[in-house]
A = this chain, B = another copy of it.
Amino acid sequence: MILSTYNKEDKVLLAVDCIIFGFLKDELKILLVQRDFEPEKGKWSLIGGFLKKEENLDKAAIRILHHLTGLKNIYMEQVYTFSKVDRDPAERTISVAYYALIDIATHDEKILKQNPIQWFNLKNAPKLIFDHNRMVEKAIARLRRRALSKPIGFELLPDKFTMRQLQKLYEAILDSKLDKRNFINKFNSFDILIKLDEKDMSSSKKGAYLFKFDQEKYNRKVEDGFNFKI
């Protein structure tokens, strides 16, 4: 029933849980924390926290991520709100899931200073508390859809990257093999990468050219109705 004041309505705890994706050595990873409080103390969990009265959810997600990893200016996006009545046995809690994309290679030192948090390969991540595994699934589905329609992967790669790295990233996100030539041809046809004179020598004798994402050009193209589509 709606009342003319809201006084009689139930209030609830609103949590934010973050599915933090990273990419390293051709593998998609997620960052997990070992819970240091009851219930489920010691178990692996998504990084989370509670919404405060004076902030919106986006801000809360940014604050929680920053607090537990030290990272700022990270791409985040709301995924879904989970509300099963007994999802948290301690108390009725609604949780809004956000996913974040992190370039591990550039940020790893910062993150791993924090103790009880750890990267897991997505494929062999542990069982998580509550409904966190479902949250991860939803976030992956979302990431996948996003990757097909936006050049989202750049958030997960260093500033300079090789075509092969980019391809491996898409393969990890989409969980399928892609053809090398077709992938490169398609990406080049978008014309949103800058080919550098530099080479990355770490993965082969011949060396592989490095590329950068041309954000400006991409934005202009989007405004002109360009549609990214892998």
Residues of A within 8 A of B (CB): 1-6, 9-14, 37-38, 48-58, 78, 80-81, 83-85, 90-94, 96
Residue of B2, B13, B54 near A49 (CB, 8 A) is B2
Copies of this subunit: 2
B85 touching A55, Cβ below 8 Å: yes
> Are B37 and A2 interface neighbours, CB within 8 A?
yes
- A80 neighbours in B (Cβ, 8 Å): 78
Q: 10 A-B residue contacts at CB 8 Å?
A: A4-B37, A6-B90, A10-B53, A12-B51, A14-B94, A54-B85, A55-B85, A56-B83, A56-B84, A81-B81
Q: Write the nearest CB–CB distance from A176 to chain B, whole angstroms.
A: 14
Contact partners of A56 in chain B: CB under 8 A = 83-85
Measured CA separation A90–B9 after assembly (Å)? 13
Bound complex: CA A31 to CA B54 (Å): 32
Closest to A12 in B: B14
Shortest Cβ distance from A210 into chain B, in angstroms? 35
